[in-house]
Amino acid sequence: MPTVLGIIRPPGTNNDMLPESDETRGVTSVDTGTVPVSQDTGTVPVSTVPGRALFSAAQAPRLAIQGFVASRLILLLVALIMVWLNGWSLADPLSRWDASHFMGISRDGYTTLTEAAYFPGVPMLMAALHLIGLPAVISGMLISLAGSALAAWALYRLAGGSLRGTIAVLAWSFAPMAVFTFVPYTEAAFCAAAFWAFWFAKRDRWGTAAALAAFACTTRVSGLFLIGALGLVALVGIGGSPWRDRLRRVAWLGMPVAVLAAYAVFLRLRFGSWTIWFQAQVEGWGRRFDWPWNALATTLRVAGITEPSDTGWAAMFRWELAVWLVGLAVAVFLLVRRKWPEGAWIGVQVVVMSCQVWLISVTRALLLWFPVFTLIGAFAARGPAGVPVLVRRAGFLLFFVMEAAAMVWWAVLFFAGAWAT
């Protein structure tokens, strides 16, 4: 008779501190290589039955790596084709929009008021790589490549690895707006630090989590939301802990708070105002606080939904609306299921982005919302009951073909310098 193997957990841990894989749902496997059986129901999960899974679990890590690399190569190929067709230099398509600001700050420091909107972490890394002779655009690309690879690795583990982790990584790597994890922007570096900060926090390794959160806070204002979400992990995300231990974990978050405070002091010394970051948002992009219903009404109008729009931005603002709705739905779903840190991580960002003149940069924020991708991985790996595996595989393939097509479209817009938020 085969021996049933249990799952060994470190002392003091619980299921909330481990990835939501088959193992953490009370599933065990046998040492003969047979499929896992649920201890609760005695049934076999559909996604693990040989011949009924989307793909073999043994192939999952390799497929995740291959998919990630393929997404980077596709984006590079699109950039090279546009360089060839337009007679550009390679730097031209890769330094559009915010990328040019990051490169300028890495070279000259903060010289204008609008540059105060950009956090210094990525420009400082670019400046450090410039010391060894790398051009700013190349150093920015290398930072994004390393950051996106580390973020994909963390996402794989947050999703529970195996089939679920691989599908989550593929969905994130081929996300329509994935070009922002390829060019010299902050998304890749922030995701790498934030995703791993969540992973270490859920394993009660708060020194490492706090250090990663501190780095994330050097890259973009989203670090403020990260601190709040990690605070919830510390307080309610690890069950059964005495309050003294919970407060000790919260205390670690003083590290990323200090980073944000240091940047505020720097801006005060450099530009003479404690509110210069908000002023930069208004002067550079017209971003100011407004009621959510006003933001929604303006976005619907610019998107050409409530009235005709000839701005050329309509399609992009429809994407903003669609992603906003996805974020709202996922946040509500997670909060209903009492996944407080993950629900708050997305929900607070959705609310804050709703309190401006219109919905903008919500699409890019999707890249930061790792629970969206872990849910995609969980759903696709499990699959709807009663659906034949061939149908599921066809749906899986269609989903990623559509994602890749949208990713290429978005990259073309960005590389051409068109509005791509």
| Mean pLDDT to the nearest integer, 260-268 | 96
| Containing structural domain, residue 28 | 1-44
| 420 is a domain residue | no
* Shared domain check, 35 and 115: no
* Shared domain check, 387 and 337: yes
Min mean pLDDT across 198-202, 252-256, 391-395 is at 391-395
* Shared domain check, 57 and 40: no
Is pLDDT of 390 > 70?
yes
Q: How far is CA 87 from CA 74, 80, 84, 255, in A?
A: 20, 10, 5, 47
pLDDT in tens, 150-195: 999 999 999 998 899 999 999 999 999 999 999 999 999 999 999 9
* Shared domain check, 285 and 208: yes
* Shared domain check, 301 and 394: yes
* Shared domain check, 34 and 55: no
Number of domains present in the structure of the chain? 2
| Mean pLDDT to the nearest integer, 269-275 | 94
* Residue 89 CB neighbour total at 10 angstroms: 10
| Mean pLDDT to the nearest integer, 348-377 | 95
pLDDT in tens, 1-42: 333 333 333 333 333 333 444 333 333 332 333 333 333 333
| 296 is a domain residue | yes
| C-alpha span between 196 and 208 (Å, rounded) | 9
| 421 is a domain residue | no
* Shared domain check, 71 and 1: no
| 254 is a domain residue | yes
| 310 is a domain residue | yes
* Shared domain check, 138 and 269: yes
* Shared domain check, 274 and 184: yes
Q: What is the per-residue pLDDT for 285? A: 83
| 215 is a domain residue | yes
| 131 is a domain residue | yes
* Shared domain check, 134 and 4: no
* Shared domain check, 170 and 155: yes
| 338 is a domain residue | yes
* Shared domain check, 362 and 328: yes
Q: Which residues pair with 4 in a beta bridge?
A: 30
Q: What residues contact 227, with CB distance under 8 A and at least 6 apart?
A: 213, 217, 253, 256, 257, 260
Q: Can you list the positions of beta strands (E) in 246-295? A: none
